[in-house]
């Protein structure tokens, strides 16, 4: 509703306003060029670019003895009423000149061009008459499109204030360079062109990164809710969709996790011709370690891990013992999780499993008369490639 | 995401119905004890395809080398059960394929009227027809109660140096003229076989009810060798005697078979004096197993054993393998050890190199093929199988 209203009002008064670009020309340190030479070159550049890039207003060219830093150029451009700048610096002398051109968009806080080219053809100041600056014009052509402005009277595009409230020290990226840093009072702001959609990400060590998408029409304050994830969690799962399991997870910095739990075949799902429920006195004790390879704020988050397990047989009337058929194994974990809510996720893991066994023939027979799909057997081991796990993960 | 949940759950559950669970309690329990046993190398033998898939309880009885020479896994018997009938096939390894192939003695069904006994050792089919089907070293087959036909073929490989089952027509068990056992008017209720330390023969023991004297029973023992029944051994008593104090005066039809053992104490162990007889059967009225022992023809005692007995071992201990659990008892019925056996089937006891061993067969079925492992453990180490 608000977005539609903003769009509607923008369409009613929209005008296209050209961008204003400050030209700044200066010799590079140790260059043989003088300030006077720089002024001549600036005028040549200004004239040619006005012809080659007519949809940009090139603000009064400036020239100096030295090349200022980027922050200084930003200030000079803003003082000159420009929303962007282009800096040209000359190296060497007239006979062996090289130029470096950098262009920067103050609205997007982004560098849009950076090129270096030789100018051996100059030879002397008189050679400037043959200079077309076509490579420079090509480098910035289309990089400064005209803006839709609600206030055409000033001839300058209106910028609106985007205020971001977040935890002190947070870094906001996606709103141009440099990244915005939240100050000690928990706020930061940046002037931005209106009538645009922005997508920015707020990060702070120890907190879940937050991705935010907004449409900016007028001055606006955005509060970013950052949460510090719990260092532990609980999981319920079904191994191969049939054996229920339970795990306790511990999370370390850098998205590393360790899990300890069990999965049991004592009460599971069989869903075959012999029955619906599973009743096998086997429980696996499992320890897993792994790491996430996707950021926490991605919808689908992928992770890798390695797990080890021991198999306990707990037949009625006997004490639990290691299953001598295959006492232990290791498994690779290729997992993906997707959120159900802020704290809950569903996950799927492909878990190719390696069983240690001294009786591979007996383990093979335990799988039935048919050749079980996905299994391979060696002299003292067995491999199950079609093992998987689905589950529910809760992290307070 | 929530909309996808039902579909994802359906796919996952469908997958679960296709994937087998890598576990079988019987195999795991068998593995627990097998890991403590020895296995001759190579003892894994494979039966060629074409076995009766409707049968169950497959057991491989390897052939026995003479004079305590151990087992020959290149030949033997495969027994199975189908519809309460034992099927027996003589098998030997085909040199080209390396698989066991059936030959000679083909799937001869042997009726077993008592479902409580899985082992094919001795049961009567009608009065006067003593039967001992014993596959470990010798076999004496049954009289078909329906047709009256006698299955007593001589089975063996004359080119091999191994003992092989024989049952010549001149050594039929009911040949009273030759063997004086059993009397024509008797019903054999139980039989067992024990190994002889010399390895040249086994000893078979019978308990038979005297039909003409209700409540009177006979105990007889004979040597078994490659030629069939041999000399009468350590006869308990030449005539029947009264055991009616604990055995039925007239055996009911439900008591068609019992486990019978006779400890003749070949090793002259002072702790096993005097010789003792054991009888154990499934009591339909109480729904459980009972066991009696007697040292002479008068006194008897009921032992605290409520599981099926399968063997009297050379140590004088009694072994039960009922329901995949091994139980070892002393001669007074005291429980010495309990251990898992799972799918390990007790074959019997043999002396190899002068030492008694208990042999077990393990059947593995995969890739639509029967595979057998044969494990053994020294008889006096059986108690170490305790988990």
Chain A residues touching residue B372 (CB < 8 angstroms): none
Distance CA B325, CA A275 (A): 26
Contact of B115 with chain A, judged by CB distance below 8 Å, is answered with no
- Cβ(A207)–Cβ(A228) under 8 Å? yes
**DSSP state letter for B83:** T
Q: What is the mean pLDDT of residues B282-310?
A: 85
What does pLDDT average to over chain B? 72
Query: In this predicted model, which residue has the larger pLDDT, A254 or A78?
Result: A78
- What's the pLDDT at B170? 32
Model confidence over A206-222: pLDDT tens digits?
888 888 888 887 888 99
Name every chain B residue with its beta carbon within 8 A of the beta carbon of A372: 19-20
Contacts of A160 (CB under 8 A, 6+ apart): A191, A192, A193, A194, A216, A217, A218, A219, A220
Tell whether A186 and A102 lie within a shared domain.
no
- Chain A / chain B CB contacts < 8 angstroms: 128
The predicted pLDDT at position B84 comes to 62
Tens digits of residue pLDDT in B245-294: 777 655 555 555 678 899 988 778 898 988 899 988 877 788 888 899 98
| Residues A25 and A122 placed together within one structural domain of the fold | yes
Nearest to B19 among A240, A265, A371 (CB): A240
The residue among A31 and B48 whose pLDDT is bigger is: A31
pLDDT the model gives residue B38: 94
Distance from CA of A270 to the nearest CA of B (A): 6
Put simply, the answer to whether A269 touches B387 (Cβ < 8 Å) is no
pLDDT tens per residue, range B79-136? 787 776 667 677 778 888 888 887 654 544 554 444 444 444 433 323 333 344 444 4
Q: Per the domain annotation, does A6 fall within a domain?
A: no
Whether residue A245 sits in one domain with residue A383: yes
Which of A325, A363, A386 should one mutate to test binding to chain B, selecting the residue with the greatest count of B CBs within 10 A?
A: A325
A168 and A258 inside one domain: no
**What band does B227 get if pLDDT is binned at 50, 70 and 90?**
low
Q: Are residues A348 and A255 in the same domain?
A: yes
Q: For residue A156, what pLDDT is reported? A: 53
Measured between beta carbons, the chain B residues lying within 8 angstroms of A319 are 387
Q: Are residues A387 and A266 in the same domain?
A: yes
CATH of the domain at A376: 2.40.160.20
Neighbours of A306 (CB within 10 A): 12
Query: Is B386 touching A (CB cutoff 8 A)?
Result: no
CB atoms inside a 10 Å sphere around CB A155: 12
Instruction: Give the end of a domain, one of A184, A203, A223.
Output: A223
Per-residue confidence (pLDDT) for residue B342, from 0 to 100: 93
- A37-41, A241-245, B7-11: the lowest-pLDDT one: B7-11
A307 in the same domain as A174: no
Rounded to the nearest integer, the mean pLDDT of chain A is 85
pLDDT (average), residues A38-56: 84
B-chain residues within 8 Å CB-CB of A280?
21, 23, 25
Lowest mean per-residue pLDDT among B11-20, B141-150, B207-216, B330-339: B141-150
Q: Distance from A318 to chain B by nearest Cα, in Å?
A: 9
Q: Retrieve residue A200's tokens.
A: 């920015």
Question: Is the same domain home to A356 and A378?
Answer: yes
Q: Which residues of B touch A338 (CB under 8 A)?
A: 1
Q: Which residues are paired to A220 by β-bridges? A: A162
- C-alpha span between B35 and A248 (Å, rounded): 34
Distance from CA of B136 to the nearest CA of A (A): 23
The residue segments making up the domain with residue B324 are 7-385
Does residue A150 form part of some domain? no
Give pLDDT tens digits for B29-42.
Answer: 999 999 999 998 76
**Is B12–A339 a contact, with Cβ atoms under 8 angstroms apart?**
no
B44: nearest Cα among B353, B363, B314, B286: B363
Across the range A27-42, mean pLDDT stands at 86
CATH number for the domain spanning A191: value is: 2.60.40.1120
A260/A247 Cα distance (integer angstroms):
5
- How large is the ipTM? 0.79
Across the range B176-188, mean pLDDT stands at 50
Q: What is the distance between the alpha carbons of residues A185 and B279, in angstroms, rounded to a whole number? A: 94
Tell me whether residues B371 and A346 touch, CB distance under 8 A: no
Whole-number percent of chain B with pLDDT over 70: 63
Provide the domain count of chain A. Answer: 3
Domain-embedded: residue A280: yes
Question: Residue A330's pLDDT band (boundaries 50, 70, 90)?
Answer: very high
B183-214 core/surface letters (b: 16 or more CB in 10 A; e: else): beebbbbbbbbbbbeebebbbbbbbbbbbebe
Question: Is residue B285 in some structural domain?
Answer: yes
Confidence of residue A68 (pLDDT cuts 50, 70, 90): confident
pLDDT score, position A152? 45
d(CA B201, CA B224): 5
Q: How confident is the model at residue A297 (pLDDT cuts 50, 70, 90)?
A: confident
Residues A197 and A116 in one domain: no
Residues A303 and A274 both lie in one domain:
yes
Tell me the residue range of the domain where A81 lies.
17-144
What is the rounded average pLDDT of the residues B189-197?
Answer: 78
């Amino acid at each position: 509703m608000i977005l539609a209203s903003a769009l509607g009002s923008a369409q009613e008064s929209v005008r296209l306003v050209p961008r204003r670009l400050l030209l700044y020309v200066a010799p590079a340190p140790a260059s043989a060029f003088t300030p006077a030479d720089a002024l001549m070159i600036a005028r040549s550049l200004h004239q040619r670019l006005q012809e080659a890039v007519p949809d940009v207003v090139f603000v009064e060219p400036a020239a100096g003895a030295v090349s200022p830093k980027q922050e200084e150029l930003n200030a000079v451009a803003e003082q000159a009423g420009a929303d962007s700048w282009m800096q040209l610096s000359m190296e060497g002398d007239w006979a062996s000149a090289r130029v470096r051109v950098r262009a920067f968009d103050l609205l997007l806080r982004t560098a849009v061009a950076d090129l270096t080219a030789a100018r051996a053809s100059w030879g002397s100041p008189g050679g400037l008459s043959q200079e077309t600056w076509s490579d420079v014009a090509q480098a910035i052509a289309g990089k400064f499109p005209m803006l839709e402005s609600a206030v055409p009277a000033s001839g300058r595009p209106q910028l609106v204030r985007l205020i971001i409230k977040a935890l002190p020290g947070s870094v906001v990226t996606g709103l141009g360079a440099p990244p915005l840093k939240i100050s000690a009072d928990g706020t930061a702001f940046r002037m931005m062109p209106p009538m645009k959609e922005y997508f920015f990400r707020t990060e702070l060590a120890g907190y879940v990164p937050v991705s935010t998408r907004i449409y900016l029409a007028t001055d606006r304050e955005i509060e970013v809710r950052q949460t510090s994830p719990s260092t532990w969690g609980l999981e319920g799962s079904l191994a191969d969709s049939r054996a229920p399991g339970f795990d306790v997870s511990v999370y370390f910095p850098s998205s590393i996790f360790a899990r300890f739990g069990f999965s049991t075949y004592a009460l599971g799902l069989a869903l075959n011709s012999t029955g619906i429920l599973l009743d096998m006195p086997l429980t696996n004790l499992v320890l897993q370690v792994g790491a996430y390879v996707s950021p926490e704020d991605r919808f689908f988050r992928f992770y890798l891990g390695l797990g080890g397990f021991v198999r306990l047989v707990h037949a009625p009337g006997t004490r639990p013992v290691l299953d001598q058929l295959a006492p232990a194994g290791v498994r690779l974990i290729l997992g993906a999780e997707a959120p159900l809510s802020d704290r809950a996720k569903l996950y799927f893991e492909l878990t190719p499993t390696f069983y240690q066994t001294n009786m591979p023939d007996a383990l093979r027979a335990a799988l039935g008369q048919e050749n079980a799909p996905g299994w391979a057997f060696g002299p003292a081991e067995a491999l199950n490639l079609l093992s998987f796990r689905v589950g529910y993960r809760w992290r307070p | 995401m929530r909309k996808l949940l039902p579909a994802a759950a359906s796919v996952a559950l469908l997958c679960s119905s296709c994937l087998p669970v890598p576990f079988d309690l019987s195999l795991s329990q068998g593995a627990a004890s097998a890991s403590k046993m020895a296995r001759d190398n190579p003892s894994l033998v494979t039966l060629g395809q074409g076995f009766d898939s409707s049968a169950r309880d497959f057991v491989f009885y390897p052939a026995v080398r003479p004079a305590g020479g151990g087992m020959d896994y290149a030949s033997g018997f495969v027994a199975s059960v189908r519809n309460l009938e034992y099927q027996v096939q003589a098998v030997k390894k085909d040199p080209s394929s390396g698989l066991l192939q059936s030959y000679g003695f083909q799937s001869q069904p042997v009726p077993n009227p008592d479902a409580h006994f899985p082992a094919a050792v001795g049961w009567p089919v009608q009065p006067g027809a003593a039967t001992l089907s014993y596959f470990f070293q010798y076999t004496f087959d049954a009289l078909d109660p329906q047709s009256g036909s006698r299955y007593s073929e001589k089975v063996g490989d004359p080119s091999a140096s191994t003992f092989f089952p024989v049952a010549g027509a001149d050594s039929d068990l009911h040949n009273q003229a030759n063997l004086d056992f059993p009397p024509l008017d008797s019903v054999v209720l139980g039989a067992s076989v024990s190994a002889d330390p010399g390895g040249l023969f086994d000893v078979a023991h019978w308990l038979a009810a005297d039909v003409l004297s209700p409540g009177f029973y006979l105990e007889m023992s004979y040597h078994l060798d490659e030629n069939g029944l041999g000399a009468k051994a350590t006869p308990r008593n030449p005539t029947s005697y009264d055991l009616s104090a604990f055995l039925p005066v007239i055996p009911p039809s439900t008591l068609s078979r019992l486990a019978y053992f006779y400890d003749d104490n070949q090793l002259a162990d002072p702790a096993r004096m005097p010789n003792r007889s054991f009888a154990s059967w499934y009591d339909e009225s109480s729904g459980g197993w009972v066991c009696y022992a007697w040292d002479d023809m008068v006194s008897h005692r009921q032992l605290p054993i409520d599981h099926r007995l399968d063997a009297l071992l050379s140590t004088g201990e009694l072994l039960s393998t009922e329901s995949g659990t091994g139980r070892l008892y002393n001669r007074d019925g005291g429980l010495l050890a309990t251990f898992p056996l799972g799918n390990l089937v007790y074959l019997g006891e043999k002396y190899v190199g002068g030492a008694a061993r208990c042999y077990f067969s393990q059947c593995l079925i995969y890739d639509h093929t029967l595979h057998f492992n044969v494990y053994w453990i020294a008889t006096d180490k059986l108690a170490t199988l305790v988990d």
